[in-house]
A and B are shown apart, each in its own frame.
Chain A
């Protein structure tokens, strides 16, 4: 089955800096790569996703890049703000099969 590795497990940045979280996946059949944000005590919520026919996608301060050949994808957050502090999860899945495999999560802390 699919295996998703996520790094780093913790990330501490100063407000205004950029943050990058990286994930690798194992199953070449995976074609959908979402990122979820989970605030303390809350449910995970989708922040951005990318499909395998696209190399990069951007939404305001958040961007995701995908390298299918190397089987890795990354989340980039620019101009970080304290409210970006949360746990971020990457995931990989194959859209016709209906399962998402999640990475282990990254605790992002943005210091004012």
Chain B
């Protein structure tokens, strides 16, 4: 049982490049989330998907897009990376909207130069 798996673990991008962060969970959870973590700012929600087929903006969605490919997978795309998007990105999932313990992936450390 792998839980929540993110790829890649590390990535360096040049300004303007695009990339997709992948996330998959094998716990049959309904809801999935993308957070970014910056020093002194906690975990800020980028986008979330309450269930397969739905996505909603979180606190800091600008510059990002998401796709809930199926119940297991939730990807985050940076279309044109900017240095301000340098951060650690965490994917998370919760069982249902009524079951709220969030399980996190191991994180992706992204640097945009």
Listed in ascending order, the chain A residues whose CB lies under 8 Å from chain B are 1, 4, 6, 9, 32, 34, 36, 42-46, 49, 89, 91, 93, 95-105
Contacts and interface: CB of A to CB of B under 8 A. Distances in A.
A96 B97 CA distance: 5
11 contacts: A9-B40, A43-B107, A44-B102, A44-B104, A49-B100, A91-B43, A99-B58, A101-B45, A102-B35, A102-B43, A105-B40
Interface in B46-104: 48, 50, 58-59, 90, 94, 97-98, 100-102, 104
B87 to A, nearest CB: 14
Say what secondary structure dominates the interface of chain A: strand
Given A99-B48, A100-B45, A43 B40 contact: no
Interface in B3-53: 31, 33, 35, 40-45, 48, 50
Contacts, number: 59
Say what secondary structure dominates the interface of chain B: loop
B42 A102 contact: yes
- Give me the 7 closest cross-chain CB pairs, A-B, nearest first: A43-B104, A102-B43, A102-B42, A104-B42, A98-B50, A98-B97, A32-B100
Contact of A103 (B42, B48, B58): B42
B106 interface: yes
